[in-house]
Amino acid sequence: MSFVLPSLLSLLALLQICNGQESRIYQGFNSGNTLTDYTAKFEDDFVKEFTTMQNLQNAPGVFNSVRLYTNIQAHTTSDVLSAIPAALKTNTSILLGLWTSGSNNITNELDALGKAIDEYGTDFANAVVAISVGSEDLYRLSDIGIRQNAGIGAGPDAIVRFINETRSFIEGTSLEGKPVGHVDTWRSWVNESNSAVIEAVDFIGVDIYPFFENDTTIAPNFYVNTFDNAVPIFRDRWEQVVNASQGKDVWITETGWPFKSEGPAWGESQASVDFQAEYWRGVGCGDLFGRVNTWWYTLRDANPESKQKFAITNEDLSTEASFNLSCSAVGTGTRNAARSAGGLSLRERVQDIGRWTFAILLGVAIL
């Protein structure tokens, strides 16, 4: 009996983890440091954003986490981004971001981070979920990024160097021990030439947009990017990243569907509020919310260069979104269609593995 009881307790703990009961799951939105006219956001702007996202009507749980792309206030060299005091004021957790593209150093980012550590101390540290060093840098430097005029990127050697510099910088500070990772597109993570970045990170942040999946060169896993294929495209890309992750945690750092798209078409995809709502329900409710750390794209559009608009609320940041955010709005037809296209949801797959493992090991322990 002295052997069986501890084993059962351990197995129960394992089952709780598989059921999502052990560790906190973060959910929130991305937030840039400027508005769509390139003017800087200030503390009041961020407070309004964070207050709105925490009070969204019919939301599936509370959205009280923000992913930032930089620590630096817009149009300054290294001033602390005003999103940080706004997050502390509104009890919003933070996935910090250090912008690394187009530079051979991250001195200004680390300078701003150091100022935030000194000024906000323990409160700041308690709010920080993790630190992302870079955002889609590998994608911008890739062949497809260059073809799509994605901007200046950074290679794997540079990203690894920046990750190591960040870890060294936070040693001995209130942020010591925080996970340090990188955010990039699914295609960047499955590219073997970037494996050194996977080895260097504590977590993988992946951006997945079925709307933009119009590249026919990725057979045999190519789906025409009509909206009907949105869920299977998302799940296929997610699973490819998990398979390449070397066991590292994989978080969703950007995903969403636009309500408006200008300029050239992206394959067969179409933008609309109806599709945006169905994507929220099929991917967000079906696979992510409450199960995987997720920062949705987005509450409020902030990228002046983007021809696609993803905001789920209006420019006045109303707590009433453009569509019903409730997961109970998902009908059985939608659930069944998603399952027939992509199998069980991510949570269901993990739970099934946990239950089977528990049952098998329980039998062994009793014997």
Catalytic residue ranges: 136, 254
Supply the DSSP symbol for 23.
Answer: S
| 151 touches 140 (CB < 8 A) | yes
CA-based radius of gyration for the chain: 21
Looking at this protein, which amino acid is placed at residue 133?
V
Separation between Cα atoms, residue 180 and residue 162, nearest integer Å: 10
Q: Tell me the β-bridge partners of 40.
A: 34
Q: Indicate the SS3 state at residue 276.
A: helix
Task: Please confirm whether the linkage preceding 39 is cis (ω < 30° from 0).
Answer: no
H/E stretch holding 203 reads: strand 203-207
Separation between Cα atoms, residue 361 and residue 367, nearest integer Å: 10
- Per 3-state DSSP, the chain is made up of helix, strand and coil in percentages (nearest 5) of 45, 15, 40
